[in-house]
Amino acid sequence: MESLRARLARRPVLLAPGVYDGLTAALATAAGFEALYLSGAAVAYTRLGRPDIGLTTMSEMADTLALIRDRTALPVIVDADTGFGNALNAQRTMRAYERAGASALQVEDQSFPKRCGHLSDKRLIPAAEMAGKIRAMADARESAETLIIARTDAIGVEGFEAALERAEAYVGAGADALFVEAPRSGEELRAVAARFAGRVPLMANMVEGGVTPVSAAQDLEAMGYALVIFPGGIVRALAKTAEEYYASLHAHGSNRPFAARMFDFKELNARIGTPEMLEAGRAYDGGEE
């Protein structure tokens, strides 16, 4: 199977949807994507019903990843936030995520606790400390094919030029791919690509209603991006459906008015592999002896 590193080195752009559990991983895989993105924000939104402000723990993410790994053979790019502490914590995160099946870890230069890149009032660690964290993670990884995607949150804190300088330092420290978080315009998205495309694979993050204008993957490819994630879109879609579903059930005392927008029992079972699993189980139930 083609490595993620090799896949990022060629076109077309790799489009990775956000997932946060076994069901979303199974549905995204069935839809035909080539890679998945395990979003820390999506885990915080769904498991905690809370914002992406560093509340989720490393082991909660690793446990979630293990469930997803059990449900898909696709490469999984995993949000490692700040590495959950200093360089030594980041090494432990690297090892735990690798064991749980990560194909790439995304690590950012915010101080702990971090917050979503599209929120304000972020704080950063010094660039040299972040470079050390990247080197520490590279030293800790079992496989050189587990990629390190370095993210800088500096645009909203220190300005655009400072963010590019930080990104430069992180490439120098050995990052396998680069994620300059939250460009504020198409011009900034293009300027990031103009500086780095062709030297290191570039990732773009599309957050509906966030700081960066949302573009299609194809348009980002034309700018020079190699990887595009839509991390939280699935939660925004499901949350809207859930809100409407609960309101409808509450109002009508029945699901009938909502039926056209739901899978029924059989339809859901088909998507989660119920017939195949029950069939496979029959081989072990002793009935055939």
Ligand X SMILES: C[C@](O)(C(=O)O)[C@H](CC(=O)O)C(=O)O
Rule CB under 6 A: which residues touch ligand X?
A: 18, 39-41, 52, 79, 116-118, 205, 207, 231-232
Min dist. Cβ of residue 109 to ligand X (A): 12
Nearer to ligand X among residue 43 and residue 200 (C-beta) = 43
Counts of helices then strands in the chain (DSSP H, E): 13, 8
Min dist. Cβ of residue 255 to ligand X (A): 30
Min dist. Cβ of residue 79 to ligand X (A): 5
Min dist. Cβ of residue 138 to ligand X (A): 21
Nearer to ligand X among residue 116 and residue 148 (C-beta) = 116
Q: What DSSP string runs through 107-162?
A: EE-BPSS---TTSS---B--HHHHHHHHHHHHHH-S-TTSEEEEEE-THHHH-HHH
Half-sphere exposure (Cβ direction) of 21: Cα atoms closer than 13 Å: 10
Nearer to ligand X among residue 118 and residue 141 (C-beta) = 118
Of 77, 78, 76, 84, nearest to 56 (Cα)? 84
Backbone dihedral region of 198: left (phi > 0), alpha (psi from -120 to 50 degrees) or beta? left
Nearer to ligand X among residue 52 and residue 98 (C-beta) = 52
CB 127 within 8 A of CB 161: no
Residue 193 three-state SS = helix
Min dist. Cβ of residue 151 to ligand X (A): 8
Min dist. Cβ of residue 131 to ligand X (A): 20
Which tokens go with 152? 């800088």
Nearer to ligand X among residue 146 and residue 205 (C-beta) = 205
Nearer to ligand X among residue 20 and residue 160 (C-beta) = 20
The torsion angles phi and psi of 127, rounded to 5 degrees, stand at -60, -40
Of 54, 71, 41, nearest to 272 (Cα)? 71
The torsion angles phi and psi of 3, rounded to 5 degrees, stand at -75, 160
Note if the bond before 12 is cis, omega within 30 degrees. Answer: yes
Nearer to ligand X among residue 169 and residue 203 (C-beta) = 203
Look at the alpha carbons of 120, 124, 130, 136 in this order and tell me if their dihedral is positive or negative. Answer: negative
Half-sphere exposure (Cβ direction) of 23: Cα atoms closer than 13 Å: 8
Nearer to ligand X among residue 79 and residue 109 (C-beta) = 79
Min dist. Cβ of residue 40 to ligand X (A): 4
Min dist. Cβ of residue 197 to ligand X (A): 20
